[in-house]
Amino acid sequence: MTAVLLALPILLPLITALVSLLAGRRRSWRRWFVGASAVAQLGVALVLAHGAYGQPPQVLALGGWAAPYGIVLVVDLLAAIMLALGAITALAAILFGYAELSVHDEHPLRLSLVQFLVTGINLAFCTADLFNLFVAFEVMLIASYALLTLESDDWDIKQAFPYLALNLVGSTLFLVAAGLTYGMFGSLNFAQIAERADALVGTPQLNVLALLLLCVFGMKAGLFPLFYWLPNSYPILPSPVAALYAGMLTKVGVYVLLRIFGQVLPPDLPLPHLLMAWLAAATMIFGVLGAVSRNFIRGILSFHILSQIGYMVLAIGLFTPYALAAAIFYIVHHIIVKSTLFLVGGTVVVLNRTDDLAKTGRLWLVTPVLGVVFLLQALSLAGIPPLSGFWGKYMIIVEGLRQREWVLVFCALLAGVLTLLSMLKIWNGAFWASTAKEGVHIEDSRWRPMTAVAAGMTVLSLGIGFGAEFFLTVAHEAARQLLDRPAYINYLLGGGS
């Protein structure tokens, strides 16, 4: 019974997307259907996460073809955590979208495309096959291309071009990397690659493959110097969709980096790990400098995604069990906080009719609730204790000090300070400023449910901050499971299913 459950995170959104395509003009029916499905997906993800703790990974051989030859779906604790986070973010984005637009203003394709996007994301989390991962990325990317241009205006649409071009190049490199992997190992199954890769430790071939994979997934994650596609394209999205993108898309890249480098490739790859750590430091610094230089909320937040990606990838680059647990904890914290900040940005747009910081203002006077939500999340992003961002940063910095990587630690601390600076910029411009060019449209009652969704996410993030011990235990367990390669190989190939 539980094995069938593994297919649901992929089947549910796929079926939802297809059915809501057929809904035609029954717009409110479609809203109820997609909303109910998002809740059901969250339920499935939570059941899977509950079942994954302390257990060996659950395996579903699709079509009954067992591991090395068939395609298998594997849900271990890390994948289950990511599925749950994806479901939470998607639910929040969908509810926020319902609050933002009346049922007649909503583009009829938006909900379907969001569900296709979720299908791709979930497949990327569950799959244990490199080529299937490629297909998952393509499902996700094609849905994201369509969503990016669906509601953009005639001027902004050009920003979709760099997004498409870079991701197209990235996908092709992924295809080449998958081909090379097959050529080297004669298999695309994660467990089989892991089994055969150990014999090649220290050879240039394995290093080249690792660097190619780092390049591919670094591009998806938004790692320096391949991040240029991100900060200009996210601001053209409608705010709920931007929240989903900001929460999930780059984190799929980070998740795959964790999966590939932590589990599939052998742990003795000093050169790629070192490169990863230094690229991460550069990402942090350049991302946060970009954020400081911007003067509209979504632009600042988009650059921040990059800077935060830097922390997670730095943790993967340090590559100790403790650092990987820190990376997992950081992902959990970041997805919730980042998408909430984008939701707050969307609410500011509704209230001030713009998110240009020169024209926004007076929000603290009018809606202190929104101010508190923003403040909590912004301080959490900057890493002020006892909020959730502090614990992730603390763990990463402790591990950096243990490894005596002084420069990397300095970069991380500097990026934290600059994060605070750019958050202050939003705070001063939108909440503290005494004038707003177009006034505050408080009579537009949409802001109440919108703020409620953001506040719900904030409660969740506060829970992560104050219940850090529980989440850290889970993250350590997930990292332990990830690094236990012999058990994974045995389980997948040794008839464990």
**Cα 269 to Cα 367: distance, rounded to the nearest angstrom:** 52
Assess 53 for contact with other proteins (CB under 8 A).
no
176 versus 407: smaller Cβ distance to other proteins? 176
Assess 176 for contact with other proteins (CB under 8 A).
yes
158 versus 402: smaller Cβ distance to other proteins? 158
Q: Smallest distance from the beta carbon of 175 to other proteins, in angstroms?
A: 5
- Given candidates 165, 271, 358, 417, which one binds other proteins under the rule CB under 8 A? 165
What angle (nearest 5°) sits at the alpha carbon of residue 376, between those of residues 375 and 380? 115
- Given candidates 12, 34, 113, 160, which one binds other proteins under the rule CB under 8 A? 160
Beta strands in 376-493 (DSSP E): none
3-state secondary structure of 129: strand
* 81-89, 164-172, 446-454, 486-494 -> range binding other proteins (CB under 8 A): 164-172
3-state secondary structure of 59: strand
- Given candidates 61, 138, 384, 442, which one binds other proteins under the rule CB under 8 A? 138
* 48-56, 134-142, 251-259, 304-312 -> range binding other proteins (CB under 8 A): 134-142
- Reply yes or no: is the peptide bond before residue 225 cis, omega within 30 of 0: yes
* 51-59, 146-154, 262-270, 316-324 -> range binding other proteins (CB under 8 A): 146-154
Assess 109 for contact with other proteins (CB under 8 A).
no
**Cα 284 to Cα 84: distance, rounded to the nearest angstrom:** 27
134 versus 245: smaller Cβ distance to other proteins? 134
160 versus 313: smaller Cβ distance to other proteins? 160
Q: Smallest distance from the beta carbon of 342 to other proteins, in angstroms?
A: 19
**Cα 367 to Cα 452: distance, rounded to the nearest angstrom:** 12
Q: Going by DSSP bridges, is the β-strand pair 58-61/72-75 parallel, antiparallel, or unpaired? A: antiparallel
Q: Which residues have a Cβ under 8 Å from the Cβ of 32 and sit 6 or more positions away?
A: none
Assess 149 for contact with other proteins (CB under 8 A).
yes
How many residues touch other proteins (CB under 8 A)?
29
* 48-56, 130-138, 270-278, 442-450 -> range binding other proteins (CB under 8 A): 130-138
Closest CA to 82 of 43, 122, 51, 53: 122
Give the residue carrying structure tokens 């005596």: 404
Q: Which residues have a Cβ under 8 Å from the Cβ of 6 and sit 6 or more positions away?
A: 48, 58, 59, 60, 73, 75, 126
Closest CA to 112 of 82, 139, 143: 143
* 309 C-beta neighbours (distance < 10 Å), count: 29
Assess 161 for contact with other proteins (CB under 8 A).
yes
- Given candidates 105, 153, 443, 469, which one binds other proteins under the rule CB under 8 A? 153
Assess 180 for contact with other proteins (CB under 8 A).
yes
Assess 142 for contact with other proteins (CB under 8 A).
yes
Which class for 279: exposed (0-12), middle (13-18), buried (19 or more C-beta within 10 A)?
Answer: buried
Is the separation of the CB atoms in 416 and 382 below 8 Å? yes
* 116-124, 127-135, 219-227, 412-420 -> range binding other proteins (CB under 8 A): 127-135
3-state secondary structure of 255: helix
* 20-28, 80-88, 174-182, 207-215 -> range binding other proteins (CB under 8 A): 174-182
Assess 169 for contact with other proteins (CB under 8 A).
yes
Q: Smallest distance from the beta carbon of 350 to other proteins, in angstroms?
A: 15
Which class for 25: exposed (0-12), middle (13-18), buried (19 or more C-beta within 10 A)?
Answer: exposed
* 93-101, 165-173, 262-270, 306-314 -> range binding other proteins (CB under 8 A): 165-173
120 versus 240: smaller Cβ distance to other proteins? 120
Assess 70 for contact with other proteins (CB under 8 A).
no
Q: Smallest distance from the beta carbon of 374 to other proteins, in angstroms?
A: 24
Give the residue carrying structure tokens 């391949």: 226
Q: Smallest distance from the beta carbon of 144 to other proteins, in angstroms?
A: 11
Assess 131 for contact with other proteins (CB under 8 A).
yes
293 versus 473: smaller Cβ distance to other proteins? 293
**Cα 380 to Cα 37: distance, rounded to the nearest angstrom:** 31
Q: Smallest distance from the beta carbon of 385 to other proteins, in angstroms?
A: 41
Assess 469 for contact with other proteins (CB under 8 A).
no
157 versus 421: smaller Cβ distance to other proteins? 157
CB crowding 139-157: b at 16 or more within 10 Å, else e: bbbbbbbbbbbebbeeebe
Q: Smallest distance from the beta carbon of 155 to other proteins, in angstroms?
A: 5
| 425 phi and psi angles, rounded to 5 deg | -60, -45
- Reply yes or no: is the peptide bond before residue 56 cis, omega within 30 of 0: no
- Given candidates 2, 172, 203, 473, which one binds other proteins under the rule CB under 8 A? 172
Catalog residues that contact other proteins under the rule CB under 8 A.
Answer: 131, 134-135, 138, 141-142, 145-146, 149, 153-155, 157-158, 160-161, 164-165, 168-169, 171-172, 175-176, 178-180, 182-183
